[in-house]
Structure 1
């Protein structure tokens, strides 16, 4: 089923099997003590006990303990059990969205009827709820509905290594606390994780099991594990009783209740190169304590014949963004190209016991091993610094991609071949370059951010990045499609454009801007059919597109009569579609990463401003939503509706936190104060209300207008309010006392919008009379009237630097003006309906506009291209 395929991020069952194999198998004697533990029994049997938190230091056996609990609970056929193992070294396994996707996926495998909850979101194509990097809201909606299904009974959900969930960890805890009370959770984490500890310690119905508090029990379990491992060594190495006893005694006296320490030492003792006669000498070289053991392992590597190779491999493993395969490792380390896979496995085996190889993929044996290398041994493995290592990976990635990528990597031939019909060939020509295709820009970015200057050649015209993109860009897009990662390409091009900030006028920046526009325009088509990168994508690109000109030779020869396409790209970078009615308002988040839109379809939508994917749809209003605004910290949204209410939402979870009622008519506009403590709303009832944004209490009602109030704005210092009304005036108010300090008159029609300049010295107002007026915000004098609009002006906004002003018109256009001269600069045309709202991104590089045509458009605000 396609939606289940797209939901998939990992199969937790396979992860559990891999973990157990990596750790040498699950030994019942190492975990069976938990079944007799009073705290666990109360949690299991008491319906009021909702959450069991197991915590302990690294290497104490938390993960294997949870594996054992899973095995025991799975024996109870009536239970529905789902679990997830977080892993900090793997991006998809270290995010809250990954956790939910894994838990949902596993539950559906057990109870297929639950797929209906996934399909309800998936069947809204523009939502892309699982592919988006901001899919949290969609997934929480799906999972919460699923957990509330009365047919789903006796559910236990398990999340291991909560501290290794690096993205939205707090939101994941919120979800756990808000889930239905009949759902039981088991989570584990390390000690000394302040955020997790604070939240879980203060949670109700939570049982805490600290492994250090039951030291004798854990020591007994470790001793049992030691006896098991020594039995294995005795069989494999033919120990006599004396040697067996000596090894067992040393391990028991030095283990300090740490399973991982025992496992690492026994792995070293099992090495065939260690003769039995040297066993005690070898054993005595292992110090107690994990860090001390890691130090000893590092010393051994440095003194080995493969020291240089091992250090290169450890350096790669320490900085990659996801575990790499053997083939990918070879592509990233030039000196490994001469070795075959068997030799490479031997070299990895020489890397102490830091790494383990499972089904061709290289993993750290434990998160603490990676942390040791980066925190304590970085001088040995990355003597030139991590930035240099990132740059090395970037350079190698460009080299191997340049060698490997070509047109039609899978020999599909037909440009219409759907991605769903493609079978991966064997051998896979992308196997060695998969990692490079996905992460080359990330490594370049990391290299630059840690350096004092950009590498000389990499981001210059005709430099390494320019040469690669000029020759291989379309082949790279095809590869991303085959890898199911077109959104990764959008993010990469956006990141590359950001890295080039300050390089105006360079050929590379021009190309990157065009390349980003190209993937935004055609990414969905290419993602569905990889070879469309050369067919429709090129054919329907502007004739002067840099990408089209560079890859003109790739255009299909069988298209004889080519469509008439504009010479140049218009200024529109992207069109966001998904609303079922006109869009009344659009706003950027304070960090510029998200957009929120308000629509006549009674919903709000939140969008990823980079990829254009809709990440959430917020429902709850019973009338058109006229306005939406982010709080200054980006954590909340406020919306104003024709239904007469203002709603406050959690911008991360999409939950409605508060509904503010009190207006006697529809609410047209809402805005947060700069400190986020207050809200102001403007209404059909002719008033402006000021609210406490935390409690929802109405603090003041400002009266004085003789008609609907269309718009309200706080001054940058939060001391004043400006309101625009149907009565043709703009009023300025003292935001503390509520007194009207000035009434600005001069428009020949109702005033739809008002905005303060960033310095608070000026006001701009937009009117039905077809003009924009600029006012001195202190004296109230009109300093300029901007004419040239053909019809009503719905919205006006200053750029972040205050140098430009943009107006949104009923005639379907957006106009940009120079504030200093009052001269018109450019008209942006692309909407199919009147433009209701316009806003600058916080950096002033982009504009977003909302229209009656049901779309939001993102524009280049700097070049008009």
Structure 2
């Protein structure tokens, strides 16, 4: 390794006069190489041997490959400089030991010998370690080197200090120094004055060495824009040429070629290479000083000026950058007229510390100089640079050229052909490899270079070459890290999420997205994008590109995908699971043809937990809350229970006032005084007024005239309502008139004759009160008269509320229908017929443009048009104006149109599903679209409780059963891809009424038998005559058993109940197990957590078979969907056979909260956990459940859930997850292939 460094150092010393004495000493003496790998290593293994034997870094592995570009360049250059050197080369003869039993020659003779004419080669009897480390002075190797050094010293002394002349290449570089007249500045003096040592030539040499082949980059001369820029006219049309290209496309090498062309044509040329990884070379000052030093070399008259400035103590090195430009460039250099134009070559402008400052300086040169200065700039494209150039308003003086992959393709092919010339393949195979490599490079020269080096190191088989091309070289990672670091520094915080989203969707999409598609994906999160191409160029132009012709968005290279997904620490790294999940959330949806006025739906789940995605503040009262109220400003919230009344600060979630409810009765109503000084609470027959500042309480007992016995007899009020001014309270008692009490005096103001009032509400105007009776009648009363003034008996209202300005009242009935009336005439303005769940509470928002309702654990937010018009009317009209009357409008998704899907089954291929509904209709849906294709037949208007699609080859039978015990069997004939002809084959009803109706239906394999399972009994029926062959009662614990055809014997039926199983024949329903005993199911009560208890008296079982037919997956649960977790168990199919008396459960999911079992996909059970994540569990043959067996796939929104008890869901054979949602289907296509991280998303599984 050291020998390679010495060769490079010697060449650099020859080019720098500062180190002239060093180079002269070496040239007059000799160079001795000890085991130097001049030509690299034969293989990657040898390279690692070299690194193990030395202290080199693994970062140099690629550079030590045989015939690598770095070694080739060093050897090629050194050959020209070494002609006058005395060279001795020694190679090793013994293998180096790396580990016990492992040794090899590290540097072979062929690599250690240069084979120059002025070289003397020999060997030292040592390995790679001991070739320069000797045990003693008697070591033969030590003696050899000692004698050689003595010989070299003697030869040098005999020459009497006469130095060898410099090589011709260096002499040319020294020409201008030799021409400096006495009194003028030397190069060393110039560096001292400027305080800057110019190293631009080193940068040029580096890029020149990186050039692929001799005539590479010559294509630039054919570009029209370049030709116009080179024209030496007195008034050139094109003064600036901006070459734009993607990272790694060879822009710097191209610019070194431009410099060589200009110098070969004897043009006045200066150049500068900005470098991201060099802080010193990124500054504007460094650029100006380098340019100054190069121009001074060609302007001898300017030497004297600098010398005078130095004598006058005008320290240039202490000048600011702006003063340096003004005084030395504008004030001096540009005032010297040159007959020839100057050509400035600037590379990597985007890597400068302040590109805008440099553009601002060079953009105004032409107006401030007596000479022509033409500037060519190469950089990555970027909107900031575009804007900086636009500010200059250069017009035709600026030409722009975008470098395309086609420009460098010929260079790439030539370079690849040169590098792969010695590959051990025939010509056709080599051409194929070259074509593949160039194609995969996508115009990125850096990737091409790295890929070729990898091929040369692993070129043993074609498959090995293809594998090498799929890997991402480390240097590409460095390039990408440089780009994303730059984005982190340059992008504004508001733009970073947009940039990351573009990268995320670009690399995670299964195919390249068109610009319109990507824009559609981005706009839900970021709003409307004016121009996507502009946005890409603004946020991530160096990583993503848009094809001009196709508008397809792609990463700049395929390796970018691997880089972003491999877990880099950058803030723009992409989590693959999150990316796919984000795309999934955007594209998933249901086929809704119409929209209702429901703005939002919040479901807080079975456990009553607030939906976290909408949660603003969570409070814990500590006991059951009977009443809750928020003040008009929205700052305070009060909650009341049987023991405490707590006032909360909504912003902080802290208790600001704690009051003791001494009545020890459930708090039924709360209200804040308009100025929040007082709080009113009502509990049973007590009214309490609290002063919140002094914390004292004034309590009044509601004492109805008529004696203590009557007061106790009527109990607590059904409904309590406090007016907006906290002056009156209305109490509704069962069987008593509606009462209105004065809060301040505690006296009864008036009573209203009503029939069993349920509730009441005050009009905010203060003059009216509305009463809701048990029969659903709404009555309006004047407070000062006590007589009814209008009523509506056509409603079944149970809950009532009034808006803030008193113009509208809203009521809801027990079926969930909401109606909005005019408060003065009870004219029906709007109705919203929606769900089956009754409304338990309602409220308008303060603005009056929202209506909220509570149904069980659901909250709905409604925005009907009547509310918006009413708000506008009150804002624009006088107080006397009446509410605008609207025709009665029914919600588009009315309850009459919504019929819940109660059961789902799939065909054998998974292309279609058949659904039964609550209105008795049977329909077929397409799983590709989720749309209903055809209603094929119907029962009476009763609940369909079971449906099955025959699994024979034709799949031509469907059977369905309803809650009345009716069974229908139909034959299907498919007419078109989306339509069927249907004929009823069998239609019968079970002999007696069956509670709950039909629970399960199963066809045998040939469709000649149908098993019907009902509560406590199951029967077998013959098709097509509809005769019953037998009937069986359930064994063991009461409940609904699950039936399935035996996977190992298709002529047998398996019945699995909560605690016992049975075996029966398909032919005649003969019991094949011990009569009345069956096969006992031995439950595992210990495995993985607390045992699941069969606490309900009545249980339902379900069973599925894994694809390999080795396991049964069963679930046992209570009928109510709001009960505890279901039990999921895995059983060996082999344990269910004739003669078996018991079977042991393999394992279960007792420790996981199971919402429901959807089915089986391949050999995995598919279930919804307590957090409503769709999960899978692999069927395993041992008693250990591993984390690898669990799979987490996606989240089921609570808004997808049916509000009824049924929550049918299935998994199709192709992995589609199908779920029922209020009369519609949600189809998650290939949902089982979407996987998430277990612990971070569903901690309930652990």
Normalization by structure 1: what TM-score?
A: 0.32
Higher fraction of strand? 2
Larger radius of gyration: 2
Normalization by structure 2: what TM-score?
A: 0.22
